[in-house]
A and B are shown apart, each in its own frame.
Chain A
Amino acid sequence: MSSRRWRESSRTNISDEQITQLLSALRQLLPEIPHSHSRKASSAAEVLKQTCNYIKTLHREVDDLSDRLSQLLATIDADSAEAAIIRSLLI
């Protein structure tokens, strides 16, 4: 089945285009770098690198927020915490 794909060169052009589209969709999700003079990532390698960095940043933020929440829950009494939690349902 894969040999058929090799012969259809037009199909590999479509998949290149698809990858380009997917990469540009990723690029849209990346945050702006405020102090950078260069425009947003252009090459595939740059997009991938910045994507990896962004995911790592988001993981760290989840970590940090979990840490802060744990501190807060440990120090607020249960009733106020419950009230705060319920109030945030009204977001």
Chain B
Amino acid sequence: VKNPSSSLKSRFITRFLGALTKINAEDPISSPSPTRILQLYRRIKVASNKSMAYSVRSRRIWSRAMLSRFRSRRSAFSGRRSSVKTTNCTTINVTINENKTAKGGLDMQTDELRELVPGGEAMDVCNLLDETAHYIKCLTTQVQVMRKIVDFCHISKKSSM
């Protein structure tokens, strides 16, 4: 039985390590200048987020939102159309303007969450909660893998000293 989260993890590892190899290869002479390190930091961070978004592909609202952000940055056009489709809560579509107190109260409290989850502004509450859970799982995978890589680099650094 295939475990979907482990194949997501493998896809992420493959992409991210590929990106790191590329980044590493572009500057063969190691130069620990602050500018260089800042440059590396930005590229690594983007590579990490991109690798995860591409590994999830368009299966999630948050990943689609992130991917369209990357693409619009690349094309240098600031205006982009966000066509966010709800895919997961197919039975009930909880509209944002319902004034039932339970959901009304919840809507006010979700403001901060909407800013943290990519594409969150356009999601209904149902989708937002579902997407958030998946987003958190992906973030923890990112962190887990990055930690392992840092450990490996540390070991390699120590052994070469």
Binding site for B on A (CB under 8 A): 2, 11-12, 14-16, 18-19, 22-23, 25-26, 29, 44-45, 48-49, 51-52, 54-56, 58-59, 61-63, 65-78, 80-89, 91
What is the interface of chain A mostly: helix, strand, loop, or mixed?
helix
Select one of B17, B23, B103 contacting A88, CB under 8 A. B17
A52 near B133 with CB under 8 A, answer no
Stretch from B53-61, B65-73, B76-84, B134-142 that touches the partner: B134-142
What is the interface of chain B mostly: helix, strand, loop, or mixed?
helix
Contact partners of A18 in chain B: CB under 8 A: 89, 91-92, 126
Number of interface residues of B (CB under 8 A): 65
Binding site for A on B (CB under 8 A): 13-14, 17, 20-21, 23-25, 27-28, 30-33, 36-38, 40-41, 44-45, 48-49, 89, 91-92, 94-95, 100, 102-103, 105-106, 109-110, 112-113, 116-117, 125-126, 129-130, 132-133, 135-137, 139-140, 142-143, 145-150, 152-157, 160
A55 near B148 with CB under 8 A, answer no
Residue picked from A54, A61, A73, A91, most chain B C-beta under 10 Å: A73
